[in-house]
Structure 1
Amino acid sequence: MKKRLVLLGSTGSIGTQALDVVRAHSDRFEVVALTANNSVDLLILQAIEFLPKVVVIANELKYQKVKDALTAMPIEVLAGEEALRAVATMPEADMVLTAMVGFSGLLPTIDAIKAGKHIALANKETLVVAGEIVTELARKHGVKLLPVDSEHSAIFQCLMGETDGVEKLILTASGGPFRSWKAEELKKVTRADALKHPNWCMGNKITIDSATLMNKGFEVIEARWLFGIEADRIDVVVHPQSIIHSMVQFVDGSIKAQLGIPDMKLPIQLAFAYPERLSLGSDRFDFFACGGFTFEKPDLLRFPCLRLAYEALDKGGNSSCILNAANEIAVQAFLEEKIHFLDIPRIVEQSLHQIEFVKNPSIDDYCLTDAETRAFALTCITKN
């Protein structure tokens, strides 16, 4: 029987590669819902090819274009945030891929968990913002949270069959495009510079997060909740080749690592098919052509976003929610060339100091914190 999938964010980098996996294994997977925020033309093409039961365009202004294009198809077309949350719980679905970007993925993911849907988790902000609540809900409803991030998928694979005796998790980082840049040079970073990731092809937002190392900070927070490991047992190692995707060190000193070429289809497919492994027709890693592996300590002075992520995780409460919201606003402003690259950590740090701390936040508290932080971060941009 085919596994029936809802893809939240089907037109982004993860979503389009997820559909590559479905194409390659059409005998194993069926798409029952596709959603997008603004990418109407691609969403329409995807709907025509995969014929889901439901298509959702979050931007209600673009509803009519999607509706008109699919009028002859047996596809229900919906629009808006409530529709996104509704398809996350549709009875026909077995698994929900959460590939939406940012805070917007939190509530649909929670709805899907409450409906008993297993989650292929690509929206790291869900655990960054509300990791304790989300993981507890998953336990309560018997839902698997299967990581799609390459680093967390690597750790997940290293722990298969062996979850006891873990000493530490070791997340690897490429170091981004500015790994070897001096602090003074970072003042001159342009949008084009920051979007040139050395190893991965990703969306604009996550590419900027990789350049600041905020993405790695988010991954530390995500790992803390996914694997139940405290922050002081989660290390980050810069590995520019991006072949070792992450590692687990055990109490006897042995280390397991998951290796492979940078290809997001591998962790996506693993999450979809778990506990099976399916054939993947990608290139294979060549040990004799690689030229060796190198490792470096991350520089928290040049890349303070990683430091700020550890600090937010250590403080707890709504601090990681503040971290995420301020970063989303700052990154968008940088992409719109309204601020400089080094303004991103400055705005995030100001927000962490200014927004009211809530020790034991509810989901409503997280939503309020998110809104307040975004408003505050926007004032930091206008003053820039």
Structure 2
Amino acid sequence: MPSVARTVPVTPPQHAGEVPAISLRGVRKEFPGGVVAVHDLDLDIAEGEFVTLLGPSGSGKTTVLRLIAGFEQPTAGTVLLRDRDVTTAPPFDRDVHTVFQDYALFPHLSVLRNVEYPLRIAKVPRTERRERALAALATVRLEGLADRSTTALSGGQRQRVALARALVNRPAVLLLDEPLGALDLKLREQMQIELKEIQRSSGITFVFVTHDQDEALTLADRTVVFSEGRVEQAGSPQEVYERPASAFVAGFVGTSNVLAGETAGTVLGREGSWSIRPEKITVTAVDREAAAGWSSTVGVVEELVYTGATTRCVVALEAGGVLSALLLNGSGDGAPPLGRGQTVRLSWQPEHEIPLM
């Protein structure tokens, strides 16, 4: 669904008078050929906040990160770091550090010397350099591997070394560009937890770019959803998931059902577009009435997708359209055994119907 120009609140919760760690004002980025990657963006990120920039490929999220880092210059607008105008400042003159998916470790240096490297460039005395590097390794729980070659590390360990090297200079802002993308699922989930712990203990402002919805919801204090260079919604993970501001957000963040047009009129008795999350829907035998005050509709099971802990039940509605329900396997909730072609009743509480713009 194309984005439309509209006002989206992107100011973080903070105390009156506090200076944001990052403030973007009217930032626009155009590339040759008239391609607009970012449209007149206003965005504040509070000191010590963990923010994820979420969106599909080409949505502008990585361009925003590069504008903050100084790897790209805005076509228009202002970039402020702690109230300092750094719009035209080079990357080395900004109090930020960036961690990429490619960790760019030096294979000929030990773990410790990799972490010390930014301090060597800054001409920090050797004793202090060693102390700070060891402290950074302790933060990421790698103090026992200081003398090991980076080529002898696992993917997760290399990721932690890159983090330690980013933290050793104590930047005001740490920018992370999909740093977990190369890890397997189990390791990625483990590193998500560790990243949150590191951010909370360090108090550093984290800005994390990802296209992974689960990752964005797991990590963030606040999630900013991008589409076609504009912010579709900004808010806590719970707000973005439970109260999507648009059909795009409802469809992109997690899985959602949308009732619109004649289907919404028939099922809900009102016009407009409405979103219902699959886990909010109850599936029962067709002859079982819905609870008093609940919305309900009838349809035929079109597909059942077993995923271990849950089963996704896809139902073609008699009123037109399709709804998906998420069933918890082994929950003992009295749901009937399901099969393709079976007629069932779907019901949900009206408070779980979310109006969409």
TM-score, normalised with respect to structure 2: 0.30
Larger RCO of the pair (alpha carbons < 8 Å, separation 6+): 2
Answer 1 or 2: which has greater strand percent.
2
Answer 1 or 2: which has greater helix percent.
1
Structure number with greater Rg is 2
